[in-house]
Structure 1
Amino acid sequence: MTELSRPDLLPDASLSTEEMESLQREIARNAVFEDEFDIGSIPANQTDAGNESGFDPSNLSNPLAATASDDDPPIVAGVDQSFLLEDEPERALSAVVAMRGGEVIERVFAVTPLEIPYIPGLLSFREGAPILDALEELTVDPDLFLFDGSGRIHFRQAGIATHIGVIVDAPAVGVAKSLLCGEPAGDLEDLPAGTRVPIEANSRVDAPDGTLLGYAVQTKQYESSSRYVNPLYVSPGHRVGPETAADVVLELSSGYKLPEPVRLADSYADEAKTLDR
């Protein structure tokens, strides 16, 4: 069961659009967009001068790396949703897959009526309550959450990863398939796997122009020049810095575009539809 640190920031469908946007600005003021957690120290034989968080990303997917430093691998939870649109009212099915050392240790889901329509920039008010219902079903306590959606790459710096991350006061990362706002600091077409391109604030974001919001992260690329894979848009949600967020997603995306916890949560969200009937 995930505890709520800030119940006053819970998504509220009764609020007006202006009130929701105001609440998002409050959430952004309370979010921490830098590393403020410890998910495993770098083993003594490894150094990385660019890694200010002091953690080894391989601990997330490789239990042997964590064993080398006498640490238990951290628990990483992927969160995704599917929708039962034929129902009346429409319902969201939120799925959470928790992994440790690259292995699934728990899967849970919850089905909740959707109370507001889709409004760009206010996704967390439509989908936040269903996600929190699913987190209530967890018996493990994740060290890090990966959300299918935005974190700081958001008009008011408060995407769904930030909103939920602040409410439960847990390290959170947003992994979006499209760029909601901000400006890439370079070309994003046909990038080699492993490339990351900064996403900076522009006039559409409540932040000074040039503020680093996150990265376009190329987790996978085709070898053929006739087609290419688009990058993911990765941003800190809460208590994670942008570099660490990109490191985590790259480490967990071996062989696939999506990081494994999110990929499996996406698959489980579809599977669980048949369990709900």
Structure 2
Amino acid sequence: MHDRRPDLAPDADLSRGEMEALQREIGTLATFEDDFAFDPDALSNPLASTADGGKPPVVVGVDQSFLTNDAGDQDRALSAVVATRGGEVIERVHAVTPLEIPYIPGLLSFREGAPILAALENLSVDPDLCLFDGSGRIHFRQAGIATHMGVVRDVPSIGVAKSLLCGMPREDTDDRPTGTKIPIESNARVDAPDGTVLGYAVQTRQYDSPNRSINPLYVSPGHRVGPETAADIALALASSYKLPDPVRLADKYADEAKTSLGK
């Protein structure tokens, strides 16, 4: 899998202003509407197929872990990529690259993008869809890590975040039943007209108890997927756990790969 727009790849040597300008450009190039060849029903139904009658789509989950040096400081990022088809794992790859900048809210892709692109380069299969542990359009400049990677690769992508970076839920998100989808609208913190639907708070799992509750996931389109479809896909792929299966499997593999390196 190769970069379609290597000129847009994250560059840690850019100034903060240059990084933000690049994100704004990526946000304008991203497509936040459905533009893919597979049947979304094929994601939750292994017997379904692509629109042309072929095999179920290849869905890739991407997550990160971090390695430390002898002083105990995080100095490298490990990107884990798990490819699935019809709910079965068909390939796992990872890549490790140096961490070149600290974590800065809104600039995650410049910290973690290099190992992600390196790991995706190692895949022997071409993804039909990528799910990232991070934001897509729910981002100050509409270009979270799922959007940045999606545009560079020109692959349909979705961001799945555990916390809300920006924007405003249309309704209260606390203690909602499984299957609830609440729109997240842009506000003054986002480079988009107020009220633009950036994504959804998605309740993929909930306790059957009045004494405890599970927080929603914040799901947004990265590239070539609409916000409603992104939310529906996250729900369809969260078969037994809060996280959609591809992201959960990537998270697990990231820990395994980190352990294998002895860090």
Which TM class, normalised by the smaller chain length?
Answer: over 0.9
Stretches of structure 1 that go unaligned for 5 or more consecutive residues are 41-54
Matched residue, 1:101 = 86
Query: What TM-score results when the alignment is normalised by the length of structure 2?
Result: 0.96
- Residue number among 200, 207, 214 corresponding to 1:222 in the alignment: 207
Matched residue, 2:150 = 165
Moved more, 78-87 or 241-250: 78-87
- Residue number among 217, 221, 239 corresponding to 1:232 in the alignment: 217
> Structure 1 residue 68: deviation in Å?
11
Q: How many angstroms apart in 1 are the aligned matches of 2:171 and 2:77?
A: 36
Q: What does 1:2-13 align with in structure 2 at a 5 Å threshold?
A: 2-13=1-12
Q: How many angstroms apart in 1 are the aligned matches of 2:34 and 2:220?
A: 12
- Residue number among 52, 72, 89 corresponding to 2:55 in the alignment: 72
- Provide, for residues 121-146 of structure 1, a one-character-per-residue CA deviation record: whole Å limited to 9, x for no partner: 00000000010011111001010000
Matched residue, 1:36 = 35
Is 1:131 the equivalent of 2:116? yes
Matched residue, 1:253 = 238
> Structure 1 residue 70: deviation in Å?
3.8
> Structure 1 residue 254: deviation in Å?
1.5
- DSSP 3-state at the match of 1:146: strand
- 8 Å CA contact 2:66, 2:74 repeated in 1: no
* Identical-pair percentage: 73
Runs of 4+, deviation exceeding 4 Å? none
CA RMSD of aligned residues (A): 1.5
Q: How many angstroms apart in 1 are the aligned matches of 2:261 and 2:78?
A: 9
Matched residue, 2:22 = 23
- 8 Å CA contact 2:83, 2:127 repeated in 1: yes
- DSSP 3-state at the match of 1:134: helix
In the alignment of these two chains, the number of paired residues is: 260
- DSSP 3-state at the match of 2:47: helix
- 8 Å CA contact 1:193, 1:220 repeated in 2: yes
Q: How many angstroms apart in 1 are the aligned matches of 2:117 and 2:142?
A: 20
- Residue number among 183, 197, 218 corresponding to 1:198 in the alignment: 183
Amino acid at match of 2:113: G
Q: How many angstroms apart in 1 are the aligned matches of 2:213 and 2:52?
A: 38
> Structure 1 residue 89: deviation in Å?
6.7
Amino acid at match of 2:78: L
Rate the CA distance shift 1:151–1:68 in 2: closer, same or farther, 3 A.
Answer: closer
Q: How many angstroms apart in 2 are the aligned matches of 1:73 and 1:65?
A: 6
- Residue number among 63, 85, 97 corresponding to 2:46 in the alignment: 63
Matched residue, 1:81 = 64
Q: What does 1:142-181 align with in structure 2 at a 5 Å threshold?
A: 142-181=127-166
- Residue number among 239, 243, 252 corresponding to 1:267 in the alignment: 252
Q: How many angstroms apart in 2 are the aligned matches of 1:175 and 1:26?
A: 22
Rate the CA distance shift 1:6–1:68 in 2: closer, same or farther, 3 A.
Answer: closer
Q: How many angstroms apart in 2 are the aligned matches of 1:73 and 1:270?
A: 28
Amino acid at match of 2:248: R
Rate the CA distance shift 1:115–1:217 in 2: closer, same or farther, 3 A.
Answer: same
Query: What TM-score results when the alignment is normalised by the length of structure 1?
Result: 0.91
